[in-house]
Structure 1
Amino acid sequence: MSEKKPNIVLILADDLGFSDLGSFGSEIQTPNLDQLAKGGLRLTQFYNSARCCPSRASLLTGVYPHQAGVGHMTEDHEIPGYRGFLKDQCVTIAEVLKESGYHTYLSGKWHVGEKGPVERGFDDFYGILGGFTSFWDQKDYSRLPKDRPTRHYEEGEFYATDAITDYALDFLKDSRSDDQPYFLYLSYNAPHFPLQAPEEEIAKYEKVYEKGWDRIREDRLERMKKLEIVGEDTPLTPRSEYWNRDRDIRGTNPAWDSIDPDRQKDLAKRMAIYAAMIDRMDQNIGRVLDDLRENSELENTLILFCSDNGACAEWDPWGFDNWKTTSNFLHREADLEKMGGPDSYHSYGSGWANACSTPLRLYKHYGHEGGISTPLLAHWPETIKRQGEIEHQPGHFIDIMATLVDIANAPYPDHYKGQPILPMEGESLVPIFKGEERQERTFCFEHEQHCGVRKGPWKLSKVKEGDWELYNIDNDRTEMRNLKDQYPALVTELKGIWKEWAERTDVYPLRGVKQRKN
């Protein structure tokens, strides 16, 4: 490891599915991220916290989301695990690295509450403070501190993914005015709804998705096997269930061939826009990589890429065109041409989310593998020599703080601004980067009463209304063979671990959250 502290670029995608990168089996063009995979390491069993706010809270603080105060979203439920903002009892990566001499920048999405990024250790910020907005309307994007210079975009020039990268490159340029290392948190809001992308990107994919989600799932799984992302004997799961937002309607994604041709065209266009958003994000990541190369920084920069949760199934196979009502509009003929533009608003629905989670079960919100699994790319030529390798050891967002503290040789405080600070929950990934085996890990999950606990190869998963299910992830990553009746003592043990964790990390009381409208 170099005597000079490494620069750090942490790239977070928003609602990207487990199999949405080319290096993880996708048909979507992601050549820049695929180059990071080829020159670095792919982790196939890395976990987030199932949804945007909790995952971001955990990523930034190195503790579980409820401990950080963001067990649900940004509403304040006035109970410890559900304040809706980062509590003073935790520190952010930016706060820790800033104390260790790093410039700290955030370009993209914040979405962890009213105490903004500048208040939580970032020198500069550009992006959205909330969860989602139009990619075409620059008025919802902020520059902080407010006295900092801003870019001017003529009408029709602004597209959020491009602008987020523009500012990220400005921040990197500013950082080079001295010899301090930098930490850039590049937190794209793509490919989160509303699904919007430039026409030239959408055009690349309009024909691709006419084959439908059943064929896409089959093709992705075959590529994943060849890439060794999953085992050769991994089955394609049945089409997943879905629930509407109020959870009073439940169904199963239909076979593509059973869908009316007009509806197929509408759905294929939605997925084409989603793919275009990922493609454009990859192009912008390429701009950042080019900048690092041109400034001879790529060798000693740790780049991590991951997603905040699994693919977004909200809320049925057809997707929605209005977030507040979740109503769907069937687009035909001329209306199809307008999809993805400034006046449109779409999600792509549970059928495509099922494809983007290939081959895993369920999606964003859930404690099953499809909800909590992210592709993780780690690239750092000076230290990670396992170029192009795949690693199946499990890890979690809580490990990122520990990793960055490790590589930056940064002191982690027990007090900050007069407040006692929670200890880190995670462990450094550096041993994995070096090809070493870590000891057996235990991770726990909860969001909206969808739960999970993993200890070594064993995992309990639970949908809110359902019973606990037991799986051996080593030979059943797709959670198809429920073994709870065969190992009742193990189920009892894992449930006990989960309940103890829930008490310790402020997951309880869940009832207080359940009774409020969200």
Structure 2
Amino acid sequence: MKHFALCVSLAFILGAFGVSSTAHAAHAADAPNRPNVVVILVDDMGFSDIGCYGSEIPTPNIDALAQHGVRFTQFYNTARCSPTRASLLTGLYPHQAGMGHLDNIVHEGSKGTTGRLRDDAVTMAEVLHDAGYLTCMTGKWHMGQQHGTPPWKRGFDRSLNSPSGGIYFRKQPYRPEIFLNGEKKMKDDPLFGEKWYSSDLWTDWGMKFIDEARAEKKPFFLYLAYCAPHFPLMAPAEEIAKYRGKYKQNWEKLREARHKRQIELGIVDAAWPLSEIPEQVPNWDELSDEEKDRFDHIMAIYAAMLDRVDQNVGKLVAGLKERGELDNTIIFFMSDNGGNAESGPRGIYEGENPGGPNSRVFLGQSWATLNNTPFRRYKHFTHEGGISTPLIVSWPDGIPTARDGKLVKEPGHLVDVMATVVDVTGAKYPTEYHGHQIQPMEGVNLMPAIDGEKLERKNPIYFEHEGNRTVRRGKWKLVMKHKGPWELYDIDADRTEQHDVIAEQPELAKELIADWEAWAKRADVGPWPGKARQEWGDEKAPGKKAKQKAKQRAKQQKAAAT
């Protein structure tokens, strides 16, 4: 494997992680203390947006986690915010947890889309609380606080949260409330300081909660759910200034550069062709200077948000190191869905000071296509661009040093995180909780893959969001865009989903379709009542050129199949 070049000094790595030449213990059972658990979730970040997955945005602290842990190359989320959070924290598929869509969507009579966490699901916080952990969360909740399932009623001993995200600055004109341990506070409460940016706030309060756990002599679980880099894009002015002017260049060339780095890093296979840029994305060279400046500013804000997240990951790691807790803490880092094309190719750029507290900026499809390099489609969809996330796992005491910096190519899913945490902490996953029969975990323990072994997965991995459907079994992926035809891909040979082989494998396709349908029934998925969402994030019909291009592609696929 070619090791990647980190944007950090060797001194930082040695200092923060305390590297030694001795091998780590393989599992928590071999260690004298149960490990602390930190789960970091970012919002709307694409597959290629951090340095160790190919980005030009410097993320030295996140890269350092990868250098002293492992990176998964085929890890999956659920393509959307609330469903991912529910799946991550329960070890179930989203509908089984009651969160088949965002928590403001309730389907009458449905068990799968209830807008709240179901009573027959337990959260990681509930499981670890009962195992003696102090359980904490900071950041974005978005799992039915308004419907009776806030963090403090689902196992979290300490919490500082936004009910549904969108908080960046102390002074901005919307979402004035924040909740501390279940008590409503105003964002400008002096308790939080006179000036803050929310990525910093979530980290600082996470460390406060960790200090409470240490004072109580308890292991801790921290779920750190950053709102960044979700729209409206906002960042401190000094961070945005660092990137201003750096994105006045062709997004197609930037995408090709990311793809080249991904191949060098071993993240993607050189045999997989880079997916095409959609027809709706404008030709950079045909834009006016004013338009190029506008697009540059949008992407500069986005990069600044990720820069600040990276700084906070560094702050967290340094804080754990100072407290003597880093070595015995397992850290997971991931994103809740792929890059976000909502608002279409041009994005949104409003306000006198774009990126400031009174502005409204959306990234849009053009830059989201860069975010998801090398894949097709975006957030909402179950093609690879919508469901692929980086996953970094770092645990100095639990991952052998021989595995540091390695890639894990075994497919994984959010449902596997609960199974992994239960294994490494020795916690007990209940069959009954508060008088309710609890659904069994859907995932598998990831530790064998982290240790370099093959995962034994009895069942395929399943997906459904807004009628978009997928089943992944071994190397085969069956996928459908809502109201479109089923497609079949050999992911080992074609992870960028360029060559639909369903005509060549009709019996396999039938088998996988039946498998998905049986799972959907078992998992309370139900039919999606909405209309098909278009690829570029709005509901308008495709233009004439897009239709012609789609027909041409279909013709080429048919010719290739015969």
Q: Which of residues 373, 381, 389 is equivalent to 1:366?
A: 381
| 2:191 corresponds to 1:152 | yes
What residue ranges of structure 1 are gaps of 5+ in the alignment? 241-250, 322-328
- Match of 1:214, SS state, is helix
- What is the aligned partner in structure 2 of residue 452 from structure 1? 470
**Aligned-residue offset at 1:305:** 0.2
Partners of 1:510 and 1:365 in 2: CA distance? 13
The amino acid across from 1:130 in the alignment is: S
Counterpart pick for 1:417 among 434, 440, 454: 434
Matching residue of 1:77: 107
Deviations 1:397-441 (A, max 9, x none): 000111111111111111100011000000111111211111355
Structure 1 residue aligned with 2:298, among 232, 253, 270? 270
Give the whole-Å Cα distance in 2 for the aligned partners of 1:134 and 1:390.
Answer: 33
Q: Secondary structure at the match of 2:361?
A: coil
Match of residue 549 from structure 2? none
Structure 1 position 10, deviation (Å): 0.4
Q: C-alpha distance in 1, partners of 2:420/2:241? A: 40
Counterpart pick for 1:355 among 364, 370, 385: 370
Q: Return 201-210 or 499-508, whichever deviates more.
A: 201-210
User: For the Cα contact (< 8 Å) 1:403–1:427, is it kept in 2?
Assistant: yes
Match of 1:121? Answer: 155
Per-residue deviation at 1:136? Answer: 4.3
Please state if 1:296 is matched with 2:324: yes
Q: What is the identity, as a one-letter code, of the residue corresponding to 1:200?
A: E
Q: Distance in 2 between matches of 1:506 and 1:411?
A: 25
- Selected match of 1:282 from 310, 315, 318: 310
Q: Which residue of 2 aligns with 1:44?
A: 73
Q: Corresponding residue for 1:325?
A: none
Distance in 2 of aligned mates of 1:348 and 1:142: 28
8 Å CA contact 2:178, 2:184 repeated in 1: no
1:377 and 2:392 matched: yes
Q: Contact 1:364–1:370 (CA<8 Å) still a contact in 2?
A: yes
Counterpart of 1:140?
177
Measured at CA, do residues 91 and 151 of structure 1 come closer, stay the same or move farther in structure 2, by a change above 3 Å?
Answer: farther
Counterparts of 1:304 and 1:50, CA distance in 2? 18
1:28-52 Cα shifts (integer Å, max 9, x gaps): 1111000001011000100010000
The CA deviation at 1:131 is 3.6
User: Is 1:174 the counterpart of 2:208 in the alignment?
Assistant: no
- The residue type equivalent to 1:504 in the other structure is R
2:347 matches 1:316? no
1:426 corresponds to: 443
CA distance in 2, matches of 1:91, 1:230: 35
Distance in 2 (CA, whole Å) between partners of 1:113 and 1:359 is: 34
Pick from 265, 281, 284 the counterpart of residue 256 of structure 1.
284
Q: Given the alignment of the two structures, is residue 2 of structure 1 paired with residue 31 of structure 2, yes or no? A: yes
1:244 paired residue number: none
Deviation digits for residues 364-422 of structure 1 (CA, Å, limit 9, x no counterpart):
00000010010000000111121000111000000011111111111111110001100
Counting only pairs closer than 5 Å after superposition, residues 18-37 of structure 1 correspond to structure 2 as 18-37=47-66
**Structure 2: 5+ residue stretches without partners:** 1-29, 533-538, 540-562
Q: Secondary structure at the match of 1:118?
A: helix
Q: Distance in 2 between the 1:151 and 1:298 partners?
A: 31
Shifted more, 157-166 versus 394-403: the winner is: 157-166
Q: Say yes or no: does 1:95 pair with 2:126.
A: yes
Normalising by the residue count of structure 2, what TM-score does the alignment of the two structures yield? Answer: 0.85
Match in the other structure for 2:264: 226
CA distance in 2 between partners of 1:285 and 1:196 (Å):
18
Q: Give how far 1:345 is off.
A: 1.1
Q: Distance in 2 between matches of 1:410 and 1:312?
A: 36
What is aligned with 1:397?
Answer: 414
Contact 1:135/1:161 (8 A) holds in 2: no
For the pair 1:471 / 2:471, whether they are aligned, the reply is no
Question: Given the alignment of the two structures, is residue 203 of structure 1 paired with residue 232 of structure 2, yes or no?
Answer: no
Name the CA distance, whole Å, in 2 between partners of 1:158 and 1:497: 49
How many equivalent residue pairs? 491
Evaluate the alpha carbon distance shift between residue 198 and residue 437 of structure 1 in structure 2; reply closer, same or farther with a 3 A threshold.
same
Residue 404 of structure 2 aligns to which amino acid in structure 1? Q
Conserved in 2, the CA contact under 8 Å of 1:71 and 1:447? yes
Cα deviation, 1:60-115, whole Å, max 9, x if unaligned, reads 10000001101011122231111011010100000000000000000111001121
Q: Which moves more between the two structures, 338-347 or 102-111?
A: 338-347
Which amino acid is the alignment partner of residue 343 of structure 2?
W
2:168 touches 2:197 (CA, 8 Å); kept in 1? no
The separation in 2 between residues aligned to 1:309 and 1:294, in whole angstroms, is 33
Q: Is the 8 A contact 1:133 1:194 kept in 2?
A: no
Residue 500 (structure 1) aligned to one of 494, 518, 522: 518
Equivalent residue of 1:211, what SS?
coil
Equivalent of residue 222 in structure 2, options 184, 190, 196 = 184
Distance 2:443 2:197 in 1: 36
Q: Tell me, in whole angstroms, the C-alpha distance in 2 between the residues paired with 1:140 and 1:262.
A: 37
* Alpha-carbon distance in structure 2 between the residues aligned to 1:264 and 1:281: 26
Q: 1:151–1:126: structure 2 CA closer, same or farther, 3 Å change rule?
A: farther
1:61·1:91 contact (CA, 8 Å) conserved in 2? yes
CA RMSD of superposed structures (Å)? 1.9
Partner of 1:326: none
Aligned equivalents of 1:275, 1:94: Cα separation in 2:
32
CA distance in 1, matches of 2:256, 2:499: 20
CA shift, 1:451, in A, is 1.1
| Separation in 2, partners of 1:216, 1:368 | 22
Q: What is the letter of the counterpart of residue 65 of structure 1?
A: P
Moved more, 142-151 or 252-261: 142-151
Equivalent-residue separation in structure 1 for 2:464 and 2:185 (angstroms): 39
Match of 1:239 in 2: 277
Take 1:423 and 1:481, find their aligned partners in 2: how far apart are those partners?
36
Aligned sequence identity (%): 47
The structure-2 alpha-carbon separation of the partners of 1:464 and 1:102, relative to structure 1 and needing over 3 Å to count, comes to same
CA 147–4 in structure 1, closer or farther in 2 if over 3 Å, else same? farther
Q: 2:243 is paired with a residue of what secondary structure?
A: coil
